[in-house]
Chains A and B, each alone.
Chain A
Amino acid sequence: MMLHSILFYVFAAIMFGAALGVILSRNPVHSVMFLVFTFFNAAILWLLAEAEFLAIVLVLVYVGAVMVLFLFVVMMLDVNVEAARRGLTRYAPLGIALALVMAIELINVIWLRSQGQDAITEFAVTPEGYSNTKALGSVLYTEHVYAFEIAAVILLLAIIAAITLTMRKRPGLKVQNIAKQVAVKAKDRVRVVKMDAEKRQ
């Protein structure tokens, strides 16, 4: 489809521009917003590939939760932009080397895949009534159930580890005991005292 290709290139170009914006903008908050924009465009590319579950989950998890926390932290931090600039030239060779390795791997994978079969120029069209949410679930919970559960346990461990590492107990902190507050009765708070009237002076 002609329209599909045009849309793909338009969104891919916007995504590329937004990704550049992430590393080139001076303000860290602007960088985070560029990253959000990049994720949105990635989601649109997945929608074009009819992977609606992955696309929406990308928006839900990364844009809706992870990037909100990122923004939260970046807004709180007083990032020294000048110091970060100096680091840019120092770490540039390492970054370029990493990018090259990634590029070689990607090209290798795409090239290997296209060997021995006709070059695929379009996304595969899914049949009518096909739900890739269902397809993903039926594979994830049967064939790959161990990998899935192990990943879940590792994530849980990471959460607990992060909390235990950063939690500090401050002494002398006043905290309500909610159970006690709920269980309170009128007679615990109000004492009705019966007494005779005082004599007139």
Chain B
Amino acid sequence: MPDFVTNMIDASVAWWLALPGVVQYLGTTLFKILIVTVAVILCVAFSTYFERKVIGSMQARVGPNRVGPWGLLQPFADVFKLLFKEVIVPSQSSKFIFIIAPLLSLTPALAAWAVIPMNNWFVIADINAGLLYVLALTSVGVYGVILAGWATNSKYALLGAMRSAAQIVAYEIAMGFALVGVLMAAGSLNIGEIVTAQAGGFSQWFLWPLLPLFVVYWIAGVAETNRAPFDVAEGESEIVAGFHVEYSGVAFALFFLAEYANMILISTLTAVFFLGGWASPLEGLAIFEPYHDLTAIGWFFGGGFPWLFIKMAFFMYVFFWLRATFPRYRYDQIMRLGWKVFIPVTIVWIAVEGAMAWFHFGPWSNLGA
């Protein structure tokens, strides 16, 4: 390396270390936020491609294959098309709320990533009540939809918003109860500790002792993100496009981004709460312990970000699989499923968990010791 380059690196390192602690902390945190946000947005871009390819293959079609090799640049073509379109604000709408509604639905979807651990050291904010924080932010996301529907001042948009609001409120309760089960098993609200509580290979994952809660959480997650078969908020055949019927250009792109960011979030959270997050399913095989210094073997048997990504991608695939498989739920059936099936199931299973904890069974086996 030439001298002046090493000098420059040394000088910038010295300059960085000379800064006050607060500035260093702010700088690293901002950098982490930037990494996570850009990664999430890139994931959103490619999950649209992934979705169209998956559904295409399920319906015996090719899917996008024109822009770039195998159509890989299709998401960027879509983004540029949306960016250059005009944002039309309806003349009878409530202008300010109409404009901020997409932001209100995107912000919580991105902010929730702050507490999610990517591996055993990378997390933006390692807070005590991480699980509650995630629950609070996902519940705030509904404002974007309701306000968009109301501000548009259109029958279809208002109907979509009403359906979505009732649905999200109904499924949030089941989702919260499912998470109560998770925190009972982990004994902590910190998401990093929830992951480490599942250490020791796939037999230790909360998927097994909390199987009904896993199913409830996943289906409620699909309903929360307004995805098929719970997409009555958009319901093309009934109410055109639901709450975003009058949105165009960037404003629509933000709703789109929020929906996919929420899907990725729900996939990641399901992986974290029930499938051990970044932990490897093969963890605990002692014969490979000496080779953990090798990067590839280290993450394969010891866990790391690639495992979290694989689990997240699997659940994204399930999202698309559901969309290609099921017809849309009727509205009263959605309500029945949420209130009369999921909530009783979660309450019963929390009682079962209480019994399991009392008898030191499963994740609670070392409770009394």
Chain A residues proximal to chain B, CB less than 8 Å? 27, 29-30, 33, 36, 52-53, 56-57, 59-60, 63-65, 68-69, 71-72, 75, 131-133, 178
* Minimum C-beta distance from B222 to chain A (A): 19
Between A52, A60, A69, A72, the greatest number of chain B beta carbons within 10 A of the residue's beta carbon is seen for A60
**Chain B positions 284-315 with a Cβ under 8 Å from a chain A Cβ:** none
User: Could you say which residues of chain B place their CB within 8 Å of the CB of A33?
Assistant: 97, 147
- Given A56-B129, A59-B140, A72-B162, verify A29-B150 contact (CB < 8 Å): yes
| Cβ-closest chain A residue relative to B142 | A68
Which one, B129, B146, B172, contacts A71 given CB within 8 A?
B146
Q: Which one of B131-139, B210-218, B265-273 contacts A?
A: B131-139
User: Could you say which residues of chain B place their CB within 8 Å of the CB of A132?
Assistant: 128
User: Could you say which residues of chain B place their CB within 8 Å of the CB of A59?
Assistant: 136-137, 139-140
Instruction: Find out whether the CB atom of B146 lies under 8 angstroms from the CB atom of A72.
Output: yes
* Minimum C-beta distance from B143 to chain A (A): 7
Q: Please, how many residues of chain B have a CB less than 8 angstroms from a CB on the other chain?
A: 26
Asked if B62 lies at the interface with its beta carbon under 8 angstroms from chain A, I say no
Between-chain CB contacts (< 8 Å), 29 pairs: A29-B97, A29-B147, A30-B97, A33-B97, A52-B128, A52-B129, A56-B132, A56-B133, A57-B132, A57-B136, A59-B136, A59-B139, A59-B140, A60-B135, A60-B136, A63-B136, A64-B135, A64-B140, A64-B142, A65-B172, A68-B139, A68-B142, A68-B143, A71-B143, A132-B128, A133-B128, A133-B129, A133-B132, A133-B189
* Minimum C-beta distance from B87 to chain A (A): 21
* Minimum C-beta distance from A74 to chain B (A): 9
Given contacts A52-B128, A133-B128, 10 further A-B contacts (CB under 8 A): A53-B132, A56-B129, A56-B132, A60-B135, A68-B168, A68-B169, A71-B143, A71-B146, A133-B129, A178-B336
* Minimum C-beta distance from A87 to chain B (A): 24
Between A53, A56, A72, A132, the greatest number of chain B beta carbons within 10 A of the residue's beta carbon is seen for A56
Asked if B165 lies at the interface with its beta carbon under 8 angstroms from chain A, I say yes
* Minimum C-beta distance from A123 to chain B (A): 16
User: Could you say which residues of chain B place their CB within 8 Å of the CB of A52?
Assistant: 127-129
Chain B residues proximal to chain A, CB less than 8 Å? 94, 97, 127-129, 132-133, 135-137, 139-140, 142-143, 146-147, 150, 158, 162, 165-166, 168-169, 172, 189, 336
| Cβ-closest chain A residue relative to B133 | A56
Instruction: Find out whether the CB atom of B128 lies under 8 angstroms from the CB atom of A68.
Output: no
- Interface residue SS majority, chain A: helix
User: Could you say which residues of chain B place their CB within 8 Å of the CB of A72?
Assistant: 146, 162, 165-166
Separation of A27 and B139 alpha carbons in the complex (Å): 24
- Given A64-B136, A133-B189, verify A36-B150 contact (CB < 8 Å): no
Instruction: Find out whether the CB atom of B132 lies under 8 angstroms from the CB atom of A65.
Output: no
User: Could you say which residues of chain B place their CB within 8 Å of the CB of A64?
Assistant: 135-136, 139-140, 142, 172
Separation of A133 and B133 alpha carbons in the complex (Å): 13
Separation of A65 and B162 alpha carbons in the complex (Å): 14
* Minimum C-beta distance from B335 to chain A (A): 12
Separation of A68 and B172 alpha carbons in the complex (Å): 12
| Cβ-closest chain B residue relative to A75 | B150
* Minimum C-beta distance from A34 to chain B (A): 12
